[in-house]
A and B are shown apart, each in its own frame.
Chain A
Amino acid sequence: MTRLIAKWTIGSMLIAALLAGAYRIIQVNQAAMGGSGNGQSASFYGH
């Protein structure tokens, strides 16, 4: 039972981390494309 709970806990945390990472990448991408995200984008022209 304990093993099962540990497995589910680790699995859920991994999935949550994956989704959080995806959220951040999407946010940065949207900012770079001029959308609504608030991430940073590196301009070719330095500003």
Chain B
Amino acid sequence: MNQEAIMTHKYARLSLAAVLATSLMTTIHHYYRMGFFTLFLGLATIGVPLALLLWFRRTKSPLALLGYGLVSTWIIVGFGLIDGMWKSTLKIFLGNFLLVQYGQYFSWAPIGSFPFEATGILASISSLFAVWYTFRFIRAARSETRRVPAWAVGALVLAAISAGGYLVAKRRSEAAVDVIKIGVIVPKQGPAALLGSSFLKAVELAKQDLKGTKNRYELVIADTGTNAVQTRRAIQKLIGVDKVQAIVGGISLPGQVIKPYASYAEIPHLCVCSVTSIGDGVYNFTNIPAPEDEAMRWVEEAQRRGIKSVALLTEDYPSIDGHVNALKGELTKGGIRITSANRFPGSATDFRSMIADASASAPDVYFVEAMPRALDILGQQLKDAGIRNIASVVAPSVSGKPELFEGAWYTDSNLADAGFKARFEERYPGTRFATHMMPYAYDSLKLLVDGFESGAGVAQYIRGKAAYDGTAGRVTREPGSGTFRSRPAVWTIKNGKPELLTQGEKP
């Protein structure tokens, strides 16, 4: 055996070993998804390269070498690199760990069990060896064989063109849809579940109120869950599997997770949430009074009531921090003194020392804002301490026990269309109308539908929308801004229920 033949033989063995290792791993990997039928995949991916290589060894046929090269490429690229590397290794280590904030750029396949993902990782490693050794083998073997016949090359090119054409046609037929799907993603569990349930009903009401539209619309409902991992999974399914063409969402923290996915998919995302950095004015827009709008309205009302000092008791939470920061600025401008400021985590349960601290500073009013769970515990402890002079932004509206805040005043969504609440309660008698967010949820769906109906492109339509009159009154947006702004109203809790005190005047 000459030197070239020895090298060919060596690389043939190494290439076959690496290709078969990839085939074995990918067969086990697919067993977790396909079950029994994986047997056929295993027989094909192990048997065919083995048979082709034996054929080549016996005859030195160029067709056998070409066949082995093609089958190995299929196994390496299809199973090793795409399935193993992209859908397991990079998805786990980059998309769900090191570069989780850029998760939209990696595979959206859900993370499977450890054996499933481990065999994917092993297939990707063995495929890298297979790439190298198969390349070396084919390069060495070409000197031992004749050229591949022209008809074989022609047939291969024809097959590749046909397969490509088929895939393009299939994708086009899938893209042609007769119904426009709009994703609605809000919390259906956890402390914000009340808001989520009310939000969904408001969007459903908006859909039922659609009359004479050119297109058909379908709502696809998703749950944000209670953490970023669950929200990411939900938005990946909404965009990747359900193929929604626009999104209405609520609550700032999930909104921050959804934002890059909407941008990546180039679909509009209207977030009924107050963290204005979510709105980029391109695909993402917030649609609820901005913290500055709430703060201005709050200070106006405080001045009207002759309030000179305030104690702050607030949860450490992005939208609440946004309200508090804006409020601090407006309080300074309005000459209202902050006597004490206490910020607590959402897990806090004992507020008595904070209440004592605030009480010792003798404020005219206690400004209280927290998410429902902590809010209700705080409300109970304020009541136990005999404190009734409470004010807030939004919070009593989302409380599970609004009676704890009897007599408190707060700024919240402006219900310019009084009939909206009446229609909601008539249509959904079992669902509590959570004033905060509801008008904006309703209007956001209408806005998206108007965009689709315009025929000019829904994102384009929203980018060009500078103002609209909805159930929450006049809503405006500066050109290029991602924030729809509106003026809130002043509410109070009377007989355990929110009651409108002063409507937000039109700016």
A interface list, Cβ under 8 A from B:
15, 18-19, 21-23, 25-26, 29-30, 32-34, 41-47
Whether A33 and B230, one on each chain, are in contact in the complex, defined by CB atoms closer than 8 angstroms, is yes
Kindly list chain B residues whose C-beta atoms are within 8 Å of the C-beta of A30.
111
Kindly list chain B residues whose C-beta atoms are within 8 Å of the C-beta of A43.
190, 226-227, 346
The contact sample of 6 A-B pairs, CB cut-off 8 A, is: A18-B89, A19-B121, A21-B93, A44-B227, A44-B228, A44-B251
Q: Which of A18, A32, A44, A46 contacts B345 (CB 8 A)?
A: A46
Whether B346 and A46, one on each chain, are in contact in the complex, defined by CB atoms closer than 8 angstroms, is yes
Distance, CA A33 to CA B228, complexed state (A)? 10
Q: A33-B229, A43-B190, A46-B316 are in contact. Are A22 and B121 (CB under 8 A)?
A: yes
Distance, CA A41 to CA B225, complexed state (A)? 12
Chain B positions 365-385 with a Cβ under 8 Å from a chain A Cβ: 371, 373
Q: A22-B114, A22-B117, A22-B118 are in contact. Are A29 and B93 (CB under 8 A)?
A: no
Known: A19-B118, A19-B121, A33-B229. 9 other contacts (CB 8 A): A18-B89, A18-B125, A21-B93, A22-B114, A22-B118, A32-B229, A45-B191, A45-B317, A46-B345
Kindly list chain B residues whose C-beta atoms are within 8 Å of the C-beta of A26.
92, 111, 113-114, 117
Whether A22 and B227, one on each chain, are in contact in the complex, defined by CB atoms closer than 8 angstroms, is no
Whether B121 and A25, one on each chain, are in contact in the complex, defined by CB atoms closer than 8 angstroms, is no
B207 contacts partner chain A, Cβ-Cβ < 8 Å: no
Distance, CA A34 to CA B347, complexed state (A)? 19
**Nearest CB of B to A30, in Å:** 8
**Nearest CB of A to B244, in Å:** 21
Write the chain B residue with the least CB distance to A27: B114
Whether B121 and A44, one on each chain, are in contact in the complex, defined by CB atoms closer than 8 angstroms, is no
Kindly list chain B residues whose C-beta atoms are within 8 Å of the C-beta of A21.
93
Write the chain A residue with the least CB distance to B116: A26
B23 contacts partner chain A, Cβ-Cβ < 8 Å: no
Write the chain A residue with the least CB distance to B112: A26
Whether A46 and B117, one on each chain, are in contact in the complex, defined by CB atoms closer than 8 angstroms, is no
Q: A15-B125, A18-B121, A29-B229 are in contact. Are A45 and B192 (CB under 8 A)?
A: yes
B392 contacts partner chain A, Cβ-Cβ < 8 Å: no
Kindly list chain A residues whose C-beta atoms are within 8 Å of the C-beta of B92.
22, 25-26
B interface list, Cβ under 8 A from A:
89, 92-93, 96-97, 111, 113-114, 117-118, 121-122, 125, 190-192, 224-230, 233, 251, 253-254, 315-317, 345-347, 371, 373
Kindly list chain A residues whose C-beta atoms are within 8 Å of the C-beta of B227.
32, 41-44
Whether B229 and A25, one on each chain, are in contact in the complex, defined by CB atoms closer than 8 angstroms, is no
Whether A45 and B373, one on each chain, are in contact in the complex, defined by CB atoms closer than 8 angstroms, is yes
Q: Which of B97, B122, B254, B347 contacts A44 (CB 8 A)?
A: B254
Whether B113 and A45, one on each chain, are in contact in the complex, defined by CB atoms closer than 8 angstroms, is no
Kindly list chain A residues whose C-beta atoms are within 8 Å of the C-beta of B113.
26
Kindly list chain B residues whose C-beta atoms are within 8 Å of the C-beta of A15.
122, 125
**Nearest CB of B to A45, in Å:** 5
Q: Which of B96, B226, B253, B347 contacts A29 (CB 8 A)?
A: B96
Whether B122 and A41, one on each chain, are in contact in the complex, defined by CB atoms closer than 8 angstroms, is no
**Nearest CB of B to A13, in Å:** 13
Distance, CA A15 to CA B129, complexed state (A)? 13
Write the chain A residue with the least CB distance to B232: A32
Distance, CA A23 to CA B316, complexed state (A)? 33
Kindly list chain A residues whose C-beta atoms are within 8 Å of the C-beta of B226.
43-45
Kindly list chain B residues whose C-beta atoms are within 8 Å of the C-beta of A29.
96, 111, 229
Whether A41 and B229, one on each chain, are in contact in the complex, defined by CB atoms closer than 8 angstroms, is yes
Whether B228 and A42, one on each chain, are in contact in the complex, defined by CB atoms closer than 8 angstroms, is yes
Distance, CA A47 to CA B347, complexed state (A)? 5
Which residue among A22, A26, A34, A44 has the maximum number of chain B CB atoms within 10 Å of its CB? A44
Kindly list chain B residues whose C-beta atoms are within 8 Å of the C-beta of A25.
92-93, 96-97, 111
**Nearest CB of A to B94, in Å:** 11
Q: Which of A33, A34, A44, A47 contacts B253 (CB 8 A)?
A: A44
Distance, CA A33 to CA B192, complexed state (A)? 18
Q: Which of A19, A23, A32, A47 contacts B230 (CB 8 A)?
A: A32
Kindly list chain B residues whose C-beta atoms are within 8 Å of the C-beta of A19.
118, 121-122
Kindly list chain A residues whose C-beta atoms are within 8 Å of the C-beta of B96.
25, 29
Write the chain B residue with the least CB distance to A19: B118
Q: A43-B190, A45-B191 are in contact. Are A22 and B93 (CB under 8 A)?
A: yes
Kindly list chain A residues whose C-beta atoms are within 8 Å of the C-beta of B228.
32, 42, 44
**Nearest CB of A to B229, in Å:** 4
Write the chain A residue with the least CB distance to B125: A15
